Structure 1
Amino acid sequence: MDFAGIYEEFFRRIYAYINCRVGLQAAAEDLSSLVFQKALARFAQYDPARGSHAQWLFGIARNEVNYHLRKAAILKFIPLDLFGDIFPADAAAGPGPAETEARSAALAAALAELAPKERDLISLKFYSEMNNREIARLTGLGESNVGTILYRCMAKLRKRLTGVNI
């Protein structure tokens, strides 16, 4: 596959992952561009035996995001629609702006209480639309371990958000 094909296939997922982690659209756009600039510069060195294109690109993306977060200390945000089982929307009418803002704040606070590794796995799963096997390959964790950690993360979020009057 040529680089243009890789870009077309992965840009949306890389951008979504980065946007989830940094929470700022402009920063996500800049970091996504940087990831693909670095990937293009190193494209000739890419070795399929060491991992898939997804693993390679998400590895670059994780490194760039982690560097950015260390440098800027930015709190990330994950939209509520990814957590419908925690915040089910009213079937007749969705939540209003005030309720959405309150839910977002509660979710952001609950996510901030998770360990960085847990937040990273949540980002990879829900924003990058990766399955547990892909996450396991990328992070070096076992596939069942990824599933267990994600299950426990969701349980922690549910527990922290249960009874939130919003």
Structure 2
Amino acid sequence: MASNTVINYHKRERCKTEPIDFGKVELKYHLEDLIIDRELKELLLKAIMCLEERQENIIALKFGACLTNRQIAGLMRLTESNVGTILYRSLKKLKDILKEQGVVS
């Protein structure tokens, strides 16, 4: 009963909010930055789609699912070393594609 009382108290306190004075709030991102970020993500996605399916899957597992090379190797029935090699070559190919598009130098 005491623990429920403490939990209820913290729920009530957490839900209390003060009005926000938007005059004092600085926007972290400007609209221009958000648009550029979105365009870069679209270009990166298009570049990833130019890779072979296995390369695409490894990149998705590594950076999308945040798996280690060992975990990816287990899922894809590859050696950990092979996953590292494929990942390295995939990232190099992505960089080359993005260079061709003028996205990176």
TM-score (norm 2): 0.62
Which has the higher relative contact order, 1 or 2, with Cα contacts under 8 A spaced 6 or more apart?
1
* Structure showing greater Rg: 2
Deviations 1:38-84 (A, max 9, x none): xxxxxxxxxxxxxxxxxxxxxxxxxxxxxxxxxxxxxxxxxxxxxxx
Offset of residue 108 of structure 1 = 1.3
The question of 1:164 aligning with 2:103 is answered yes
Following TM superposition, the consecutive aligned residue runs of length 4 or more in structure 1 with deviations greater than 6 angstroms are none
Letter in 1 for 2:96: K
Identity of aligned residues (%): 38
- Structure 2 counterpart of 1:96: 33
- Structure 2 counterpart of 1:123: 60
Among candidates 68, 83, 86, match of residue 146 of structure 1 = 83
Structure 2 regions of 5+ residues with no counterpart?
A: 1-28
Offset of residue 115 of structure 1 = 1.0
Offset of residue 103 of structure 1 = 0.5
TM-score (norm 1): 0.40
SS at match of 2:103: coil
Structure 1 regions of 5+ residues with no counterpart?
A: 1-92
Counterpart Cα distance in 2 of 1:128 and 1:164: 25
- Structure 1 counterpart of 2:74: 137
Counterpart Cα distance in 1 of 2:73 and 2:41: 28
Report 1:20-31 matches (<5 A). none
Letter in 1 for 2:80: E
SS at match of 1:96: helix
